[in-house]
C-alpha cells in the first residue's frame, strides 16, 4: 500500500512547492520564508560576533553608498557590514543582510565592479536561492531515506550502490542547481546595478579580474558549485544589450551614483 501511495504523495508535494524566480525559472521551494529569514538573521548575528568588523571609514562609506543605491531599486531596509577579511568575497543573506570583505574592496577598481558584486549577492536573496537550496537538500535527504527504507540494502554491494546514489544526487542534482542559481544571480545582479545607474559592462571586467585572482585554482565546472568564469562572462555578454537598455533608462532618470 505504501509503495502505491508514495508516488501520489510525492507528486502532490512537488506541485505544491512550485514557484517562479525573477527570471521566470521554475523553482522547487517549500520551506517557510519566515524560517529562512530567521536563519539568515541568526547567521548574520553570528558572523558579526565571530568575524572582525571593519571600521575603515572609506570602505564603509563606499560599500554603504553602493548598497543603498541598489537596494533603493528593490526596496526594503538592508543592513550592510564590512568585515576585516583578505579573501575577495561578499554575501547577502535572507532577512536583508549584506556583508562585504575588505579583500573584495581591495580587488575592485571602481564603484561599478563592487556594484556588480553586491547586485549579484542581492540577486540570490531576491530569487530565494537559500530557500530553494534548503528545500532541495531536505527533499533529497528525505527521498534517499525513503528509498533506503524501501530497498533495505544489506549486502556490501547494496550498501556501495546506495552510497553511489547519494554521490550521484549531489553532483547530478544539487550542484547543477547551484550553478544555475549563480548564473541567475549574475543576470539579476547586472540588471539591478544597471537600474541603479551603474554601468553594467563593468560586471564583465569584474569576472575577468576574479579569474586572474584565482590563478587557475578554480575547480572544473562539473565539480564546482559555481560556473566557470568563462561561462559567466559569456552569459553576461549575451545579456548585456538588455542591461545596457536599463542603464540608459536609469541615466535618463538622473541616476548617476558617485560612491567613490
Cα–Cα dist 193/105, whole Å = 17
Distance set, CA 208 to CA 24, 170, 218 (Å)? 28, 29, 13
The catalytic residue among 112, 121, 132, 182 is 121
Tell me if 123 sits within 8 A of 186, measured CB to CB: yes
Cβ neighbours of residue 139 under 8 Å, at least 6 residues apart? 13, 28, 30
* Whether residue 121 lies in the annotated active site: yes
Cα–Cα dist 25/179, whole Å = 14
DSSP bridge pairs for 20: 26
Cβ neighbours of residue 190 under 8 Å, at least 6 residues apart? 116, 119, 120, 200, 203, 236, 239, 240, 243
The catalytic residues are 121
Amino acid at each position: 500500500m505504501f509503495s502505491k501511495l508514495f508516488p501520489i504523495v510525492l507528486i502532490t508535494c512537488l506541485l505544491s512547492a512550485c514557484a517562479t524566480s525573477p527570471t521566470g525559472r521554475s523553482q522547487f521551494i517549500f520551506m517557510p520564508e519566515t524560517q529562512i529569514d530567521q536563519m539568515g538573521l541568526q547567521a548574520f548575528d553570528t558572523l558579526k560576533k565571530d568575524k572582525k568588523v571593519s571600521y575603515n571609514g572609506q570602505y564603509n562609506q563606499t560599500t554603504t553608498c553602493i548598497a543603498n543605491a541598489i537596494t533603493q531599486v528593490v526596496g526594503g531596509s538592508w543592513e550592510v557590514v564590512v568585515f576585516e577579511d583578505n579573501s575577495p568575497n561578499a554575501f547577502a543573506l535572507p532577512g536583508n543582510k549584506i556583508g562585504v570583505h575588505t579583500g573584495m574592496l581591495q580587488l575592485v577598481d571602481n564603484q561599478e565592479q563592487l556594484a556588480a558584486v553586491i547586485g549579484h549577492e542581492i540577486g540570490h536573496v531576491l530569487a530565494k536561492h537559500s530557500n530553494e537550496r534548503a528545500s532541495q537538500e531536505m527533499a533529497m535527504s528525505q527521498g534517499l531515506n525513503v528509498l533506503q527504507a524501501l530497498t533495505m540494502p544489506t549486502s556490501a554491494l547494496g550498501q556501495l550502490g546506495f552510497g553511489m546514489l547519494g554521490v550521484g544526487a549531489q553532483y547530478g542534482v544539487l550542484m547543477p542547481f547551484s550553478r544555475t542559481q549563480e548564473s541567475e544571480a549574475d543576470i539579476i545582479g547586472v540588471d539591478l546595478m544597471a537600474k541603479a545607474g551603474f554601468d553594467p559592462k563593468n560586471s564583465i571586467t569584474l569576472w575577468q579580474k576574479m579569474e586572474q585572482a584565482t590563478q587557475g585554482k578554480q575547480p572544473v565546472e562539473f565539480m564546482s558549485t559555481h560556473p566557470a568564469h568563462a561561462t559567466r562572462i559569456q552569459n553576461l555578454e549575451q545579456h548585456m544589450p538588455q542591461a545596457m537598455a536599463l542603464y540608459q533608462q536609469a541615466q535618463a532618470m538622473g541616476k548617476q551614483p558617485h560612491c567613490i
